[in-house]
Chain A
């Protein structure tokens, strides 16, 4: 059976030669449509008539979003670059195109690649060239997530990243909260750095490599880098799921530990309202939770916080069943929880959410206020706080290093 394919090649002269060559010979492919631009290509792909596409690297508005929609339509992609254009080939591979050929490769080779790309479905099939090592790495990603109601996600994320850096682990803190990230404010960072939105934009264009990610991040100290969040909550459409995945992959290559401060919401209500591909506000959060090696669920230790945590854990289990979050109960204090607070909270979570193990963090409002007032981390402002000591132990476990290893620095 002949494979139905699309073309989206910009060079008109060469395109007609290629179409003629592919159609005339017995290459096992049939051209069903010759697309003129990206919109045309996506429309044709979504009809499901084609199984593969051959496209030019310089096709206008070709980005990760387009490729991910082609992948969703189960259309394999073969990229064509000008012979010797290394930058274009690098960009296509960074965008995730596995089959890249020079444009003078000849119809037979193109057809063979199209058959392999369109034979499809098996994403574990080895590409024609091994991926460049810089695109991903062995670093660990920890997502700090939690229900609504300010349980302390940002506080925990900043402190875990800072303490891990103090334990000697190169760390990157990413603010991926699409509802109002405040990591820059918490750290007292004054300059307007482009941050995660710029990184996502660069990745969408296929221009984000590890060095570019390092340039977009800011170094609080040499081992602790920060990718600041959206400056306004209404810029959330800039954090699309696929670019966020790309940013996390580069982060794994850049540092040993990436801590991501997530938004609280994991609902996908857009899909209830639209039947087309729409920007999903919580897509970034869901992507981070899917990609993370460890998900930390932060809840507040009061009746309201516990109830929200139980509901959120249940939502998360519905949405992403494979994830076993590590539950951290923050703001643990006597008074609001009668008797032994840690025991009561652990018992409630065991009963209502089947959580067997929790970590607790004591409530130290005075120390946090001092840190917040000075734009400092807890380790910088009040190193002796019991909350900080608990966070150091948590950071050591999340980073996989012994708690007292590494140089203890005061900065």
Chain B
């Protein structure tokens, strides 16, 4: 002890300023209080648990899915209608047996022709499709006053022709009965041109095309739409 607050020069110069790296006699590190941080092990484990259970749950639900995607028609279509992609929707159905009776979505049926009527929302049976379509496509022009405005592709229509006999009497004749509309073209209004008439495209057997065309040239045409029987 020096007996006073003064420190000798020998002590001053002997103060080692060694660093920790060169410390030959390290002390054990003190375990000290830590401010809790938001990045906690428990938080991480909790997040992992939630994430894992979501993933596992999704996998289990996906593995339990026994449904198959099949085609259904969007709205009622009559036999003879050539299908387009817009007519069809994909629905997932659980089919216990005979799934091949319906058309799987691996193949698009667009371009095929229906052999029988199919109601709105019904599944598309593979047996109701035909690859080739017979007959000629004929466009039936009709003034908008003589056709129901609700007519659309896939609907069955009757076509009536009214001619004026030389005696002044009118004679009406049904030239087409129950043919499906393949396509409807409503009148377009352009700036320079306007089509005043609705054009309905129908497919008819070649032998009846002659009578139809003659009627279209010579008579007043009316179109009536059939509701589904």
Contacts and interface: CB of A to CB of B under 8 A. Distances in A.
Contacts, number: 99
A323 B1 CA distance: 9
Contacts of B35: 374
B60 interface: no
B102 to A, nearest CB: 70
A146 interface: no
A39 interface: no
A190 B15 contact: no
B28 to A, nearest CB: 6
B26 A214 contact: yes
Nearest to A375: B33
B3 A218 contact: no
A218 B30 contact: yes
Contact of A211 (B10, B15, B25): B25
Contacts of B19: 168, 222-223
A375 B32 contact: yes
Contacts of A193: 28, 30
B7 interface: yes
Given A254-B25, A323-B4, A400-B7, A219 B17 contact: no
A324 interface: yes
Contacts of A139: 15
Interface string B1-33: 111110100111011111111010111111111
B198 to A, nearest CB: 85
Interface in A318-353: 322-326
A138 B10 contact: yes
Interface stretch (A70-78, A112-120, A273-281, A286-294): A286-294
A188 interface: yes
A215 interface: yes
B5 A326 contact: yes
Given A188-B33, A256-B17, A375-B33, A219 B5 contact: no
Contacts of B29: 218-219
Task: Classify chain A's interface size.
Answer: 35 or more
A399 B15 contact: yes
B4 A219 contact: no
A249 B20 CA distance: 21
Interface in A249-307: 254, 256-257, 290-295
B26 A294 contact: no
Contacts of B4: 322-324
Given A140-B15, A169-B15, A217 B33 contact: no
Given A140-B7, A189-B30, A190-B33, A170 B25 contact: no
Contacts of A218: 27-30
A104 to B, nearest CB: 35
Nearest to A292: B1
A83 interface: no
Given A189-B31, A214-B27, A219-B27, A256 B7 contact: no
A382 interface: no
Contacts of B3: 322-324
Given A138-B14, A189-B31, A256-B17, A291 B1 contact: yes
A325 B7 contact: no
B79 to A, nearest CB: 84
Contacts of B33: 188-190, 374-375
B27 A325 contact: no
A44 interface: no
Contacts of A210: 25
A217 B5 contact: no
Given A257-B15, A293-B7, A374-B33, A215 B2 contact: no
Interface in A164-215: 168-170, 187-191, 193, 210-211, 214-215
29 contacts: A138-B16, A139-B15, A140-B7, A169-B15, A170-B16, A187-B30, A188-B32, A189-B33, A190-B31, A214-B26, A214-B27, A218-B27, A218-B28, A219-B27, A219-B28, A219-B29, A223-B20, A254-B25, A256-B16, A290-B1, A322-B1, A323-B3, A324-B3, A324-B4, A325-B5, A374-B35, A400-B7, A400-B15, A401-B15
Given A218-B30, A219-B30, 14 more contacts: A168-B19, A210-B25, A211-B25, A219-B26, A219-B27, A219-B28, A222-B26, A225-B27, A322-B1, A322-B3, A324-B4, A374-B35, A375-B32, A400-B12
Query: Which 7 A-B residue pairs are closest in the complex by CB-CB distance?
Result: A222-B20, A188-B33, A138-B14, A218-B30, A375-B33, A214-B25, A322-B3
